[in-house]
Chains A and B, each alone.
Chain A
Amino acid sequence: MWTLISGIFLGWTLGSNDSANVFGTAVAAKIVKYRTAILLTSLFVVLGALIEGEKCFSTVSELSTLTPRGAFLAALAAGITMFVVTYLAIPSSTSQAITGAIVGVGMVSGIPGFSNLYKIVACWLLTPIGGMILSFLLYHLISFFIATYIRSPQMRSTIFFWSLIFAGCLGAYALGSNNVANVTGVYVGAGLLTPFEGLLIGSLSIAGGVLTYSKGVMMTVGRDITPLDEYAALIAVLAGAITVEIFTQVGVPVSSSQAIVGGVAGIGLVRGVRTVSKRTLMKILIGWISTPLSAGIISYVLVKIFQV
Chain B
Amino acid sequence: MSFRKEKEINELILKHLDSVFSCLQLALDTVKEYLNDHIVEAKALALKVDRSETAADMILREIMSKLYSGAYLPSLRSDIFHLGQHMDGIANAAEACCDFFLDQRPDIPQEMRPHFWRIMEKSISSCTPLMEAARSFLKGEDPGIIQEDASQVGIMESEVDKEEWDLTRDIFKTDLDLGHKIHLKQCLESITTISDRAEDTSDQLQLIIIKGGL
Contacts and interface: CB of A to CB of B under 8 A. Distances in A.
Interface of A: 29-31, 143, 146-147, 150-158, 160-162, 229-231
Given A157-B72, A230-B73, A230-B75, A151 B1 contact: no
A153 B212 contact: yes
Given A153-B212, A229-B75, 11 more contacts: A143-B214, A152-B138, A152-B139, A153-B79, A157-B72, A157-B73, A157-B76, A158-B2, A158-B3, A160-B73, A161-B1
B214 A153 contact: no
A157 B1 contact: yes
A158 B1 contact: yes
B80 interface: yes
Nearest to B83: A153
B213 interface: yes
A229 B77 CA distance: 13
A37 to B, nearest CB: 14
Given A143-B214, A158-B2, A151 B141 contact: yes
B143 A151 contact: yes
Nearest to A150: B140
Contacts of B143: 151
Contact of A151 (B7, B10, B142): B142
A22 to B, nearest CB: 18
A230 B74 contact: yes
A30 B10 CA distance: 22
A152 B208 CA distance: 12
B172 interface: no
Nearest to A144: B214
Contact of A147 (B3, B137, B214): B214
Contacts of A162: 1
A231 B140 contact: no
Given A31-B73, A143-B214, A147-B214, A154 B142 contact: no
Contacts of B141: 151
Nearest to A153: B76
Interface of B: 1-3, 6-7, 9-10, 71-76, 79-80, 137-143, 212-214
A229 B74 CA distance: 9
Contacts of A150: 140
B18 to A, nearest CB: 18
B76 A30 contact: no
Nearest to B4: A158
Contacts of A160: 73
A150 B76 CA distance: 14
Contacts of B75: 229-230
9 contacts: A30-B74, A147-B214, A151-B140, A153-B80, A153-B140, A154-B3, A154-B6, A156-B76, A230-B74
A19 B61 CA distance: 38
A291 B213 CA distance: 41
Contacts of A29: 74
B74 to A, nearest CB: 6
A188 to B, nearest CB: 41
A147 B213 contact: yes
In the complex, the 5 A-B pairs of residues with the closest C-beta atoms, listed nearest first: A152-B140, A151-B140, A154-B6, A143-B214, A161-B1
A160 B142 CA distance: 20
Nearest to B209: A151
A130 to B, nearest CB: 23
Contacts of B74: 29-31, 230
Contacts of A30: 74
B214 A146 contact: yes
Contacts of A153: 6, 72, 76, 79-80, 137-138, 140, 212
B210 to A, nearest CB: 12
A230 B79 CA distance: 14
A226 to B, nearest CB: 15
Most buried by B among A143, A151, A152, A155: A151
A153 B77 CA distance: 10
Given A29-B74, A161-B1, A230-B73, A154 B213 contact: no
Contact of B214 (A31, A155, A157, A231): A231
A34 to B, nearest CB: 14
Nearest to B9: A154
